[in-house]
């Protein structure tokens, strides 16, 4: 996808983090924006700031776990702008702890946003974008699904999150092949960021009541939360930088997008373990202090 001026971008999780930065770049490139999020106040703020800069913006609250809300988002986008060219299935949340300590509500919340949100986005918007292409011989489209390096690695105490993001990588690779199979003028990418300051470590503050878990967090869940907050807050790559790299990838039809390419050494080691049948290597082998802090926290020593 080379043409951004006057094209329409739909962005979920648009009120903060990567979504907000995608919107900022899109506005700078002259795109019309459909912004969706569950955080109404933050969404309104982002929309108002972009409108003040001259961007044409439609902002809607949307819980991507809910099929009917994603369908309503698509209908509103078409009613307002008549087409969709660029889709960011970006909304995401995080949860940690030993995998057997995750409650059913934890699984439903994280998989609902991280995986079902992408499923609904692909299911609803891809046919719509293909239909748009039928009526425009110059149509160019692209879909970006936000996964994570946790979609390529399996760090301990991140089980629910790991599962959701691995599924997004698989879904995205299949989407890429399916679009290519039919010769669609629509590209696909998967974004796999490492530790970037996006606010995801505080996503529990916006957890909906229907998947709320009022049980006291376990020691492993507390230790995982502390570790995540520290890792995210110390991240050297900004969400704005990742957004720029993402738009470059869209323009160049690059599928895999990374915030920290140096972390791919761990992915290579995991692939080698799979091929050779070796037991999984420690994802924190190069950072033993992280493993030690997690163990200390779980044992109550931290």
Is 1 within the bounds of a domain? no
Is 3 within the bounds of a domain? no
Whether 201 and 79 have beta carbons less than 8 Å apart is answered as no
Is 284 within the bounds of a domain? yes
Is 2 within the bounds of a domain? no
* pLDDT tier for residue 127 given thresholds of 50, 70 and 90: very high
Is 152 within the bounds of a domain? yes
Q: Inform me whether the pLDDT recorded for 221 exceeds 80.
A: yes
List for the chain the helix, strand, coil content (%; round to 5).
55, 15, 30
Q: Inform me whether the pLDDT recorded for 129 exceeds 90.
A: yes
Q: Inform me whether the pLDDT recorded for 299 exceeds 80.
A: yes
* pLDDT tier for residue 77 given thresholds of 50, 70 and 90: very high
Q: 84: domain range? A: 8-298
Q: Strands across the sheet with 32-37, in order?
A: 57-61, 32-37, 8-12, 86-89, 141-146, 186-192, 256-258
List Cα–Cα distances, 13 to 60, 165, 274, 290, 299, in angstroms.
11, 16, 34, 29, 35
Q: Inform me whether the pLDDT recorded for 302 exceeds 60.
A: no
Q: Inform me whether the pLDDT recorded for 234 exceeds 80.
A: no
Q: Kindly report the average pLDDT of the chain as a whole number.
A: 95
CA 222 – CA 236 distance, rounded (Å):
24
| Residue count of the chain | 302
pLDDT of residue 89: 98
Whether 150 and 158 have beta carbons less than 8 Å apart is answered as yes
Active site residue 284: no
- Residue 176: enclosing H or E segment and its boundaries? helix 159-181
Is 251 within the bounds of a domain? yes
Is 162 within the bounds of a domain? yes
Q: What is the mean pLDDT of residues 283-295?
A: 86
pLDDT digits (tens, 9 = 90+) for 99-108: 999 999 999 9
Give the total number of structural domains in the chain.
Answer: 1
Pairing of strands 8-12, 32-37: parallel
**What is residue 34's three-state secondary structure?**
strand
Dihedral (Cα; 284, 287, 293, 294), 10-degree rounding:
-10
CA 176 – CA 184 distance, rounded (Å):
10
pLDDT of residue 7: 98
Is 100 within the bounds of a domain? yes
Q: Which CATH number covers residue 52? A: 3.40.50.720
Which of 139, 161, 176, 194 is an active site residue? 161
Reported as half-sphere exposure (CB side, CA atoms, 13 A), residue 287 has a value of 11
pLDDT of residue 227: 86
């Amino acid at each position: 996808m080379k043409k951004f001026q006057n094209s329409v971008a739909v962005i979920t999780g648009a009120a903060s983090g990567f979504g907000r930065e995608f919107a900022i770049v899109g506005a700078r490139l002259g795109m019309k924006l459909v912004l969706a999020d569950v955080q109404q106040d933050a969404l309104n703020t982002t929309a108002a700031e972009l409108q003040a800069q001259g961007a044409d913006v439609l902002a809607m609250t949307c819980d991507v776990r809910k099929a009917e809300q994603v369908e309503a988002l698509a209908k509103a986008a078409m009613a307002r702008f008549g087409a969709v060219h660029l889709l960011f299935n970006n909304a995401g949340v995080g949860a940690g702890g030993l995998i057997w300590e995750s409650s059913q509500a934890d699984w439903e919340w994280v998989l609902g946003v991280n995986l079902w949100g992408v499923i609904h986005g692909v299911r609803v918007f891809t046919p719509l974008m293909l239909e748009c292409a039928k009526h425009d011989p110059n149509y160019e489209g692209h879909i970006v699904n936000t996964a994570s390096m946790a979609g390529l690695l399996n760090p301990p105490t991140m089980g629910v999150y790991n599962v959701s993001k691995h599924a997004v990588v698989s879904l995205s690779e299949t989407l890429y092949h399916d679009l290519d199979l039919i010769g669609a003028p629509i590209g696909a990418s998967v974004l796999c960021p490492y530790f970037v300051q996006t606010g995801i470590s505080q996503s529990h503050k916006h957890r909906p009541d229907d998947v709320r878990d009022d049980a006291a967090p376990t020691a492993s869940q507390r230790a995982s939360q502390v570790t995540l907050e520290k890792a995210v807050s110390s991240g050297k790559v900004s969400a704005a930088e990742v957004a720029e790299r993402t738009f470059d990838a869209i323009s160049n039809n690059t599928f895999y997008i990374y915030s920290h390419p140096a972390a791919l050494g761990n992915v290579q080691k995991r692939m080698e373990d799979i091929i050779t049948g070796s037991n999984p290597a420690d994802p924190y082998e190069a950072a033993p202090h992280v493993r030690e802090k997690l163990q200390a926290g779980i044992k109550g020593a931290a």
